Amino acid sequence: MANTQDLAQLIAAHAGEEGALLPILHDVQHAFGCVDGEAEAAIAQALNLSRAEVHGVVSFYHDFTSSNDPRPHIELCRAEACKARGVEALVDAAQAAAGERVQLKTVYCLGLCSVGPAARVGDALHARLDEAALVALVEQA
């Protein structure tokens, strides 16, 4: 995956920062779509940590993935407030529309609890979804 030089630059940008590991992992995940073994090794080396420590952190957080999934993805909130507004009734239709082409992920809360069901595509937020709107969102992804 990673262009080694880009990776080194991303890491170097955080040199001297307190608790730099998470900011570095965010940058790497953002740039390469994942934090794989190669990246873990390079980060461990730079921060004077063991690879196991870095892997432990990567595997702890939902935001970091070990392999890149290039499919478009939609994050659908299925926490209590969106459940109360009927998100569960939309899931099957959304899953059917997504098929194998789109990754439909579950998140717990996007902070739009008074206007759910809500979904996030990249940084774009969508609220007051009904079945038609959610399916359209999936199809356009």
Partner 1 sequence: MNQIVRISDDALSIACGADAVVEAFEAAGCAVERVSSWGMHWLEPLVEIDGIGYGPATPADVPAMLDGTSAKSIGKISEHPFIARQQRLTFARAGKTRPLSVEDYAATGGWVGLNRARSLEPAQVIAEVLQSGLRGRGGAGFPAGIKWKTVAEAAGARKYIVCNADEGDSGTFADRMLMEGDPFQLIEGMAIAAYAVGAQQGYVYVRSEYPHAIAKLNAAIELAAGIIAPFRIEVRVGAGAYVCGEETSLLNSLEGKRGEVRAKPPLPALQGLFGCPTVVNNVLTLAAVPHILTEGGVSLYDSLGVDRSKGTMPIQLAGNIKHGGLYEIAFGITLNELIYDIGGGSASGRPVKAVQVGGPLGAYIPPQQFDLRFAYEDYAQADALIGHAGIVVFDESADMGNMARFAMEFCAAESCGKCTPCRIGSTRGVELIDRIREGGRGIDAVELLPQMHNARKTQRSTEEDIALLEDLCETMKFGSLCALGGFTPYPVLSALRHWPEDFRR
Q: Least distance to partner 1 from the beta carbon of 76, Å?
A: 12
Residues paired with 73 in a beta bridge = 103
Q: Which stretch binds partner 1 (CB under 8 A): 2-10, 76-84, 94-102, 131-139?
A: 76-84
Dig out the tokens for 82 from the structure. 């969106």
Binding mask 24-53 for partner 1 (x = CB under 8 A): -xx--------------------x------
Dig out the tokens for 75 from the structure. 């994050």
128 half-sphere exposure, CB direction, 13 A CA radius: 0
Nearer to partner 1 by Cβ, of 100 and 123: the residue is 123
Q: In 14-118, where does DSSP find H-type helix?
A: 21-32, 37-47, 51-60, 80-84, 88-98
Provide the binding-site residues for partner 1, judged by CB under 8 A.
18-23, 25-26, 47, 56-57, 60-64, 79-85, 107-116, 118, 120, 123, 125-128
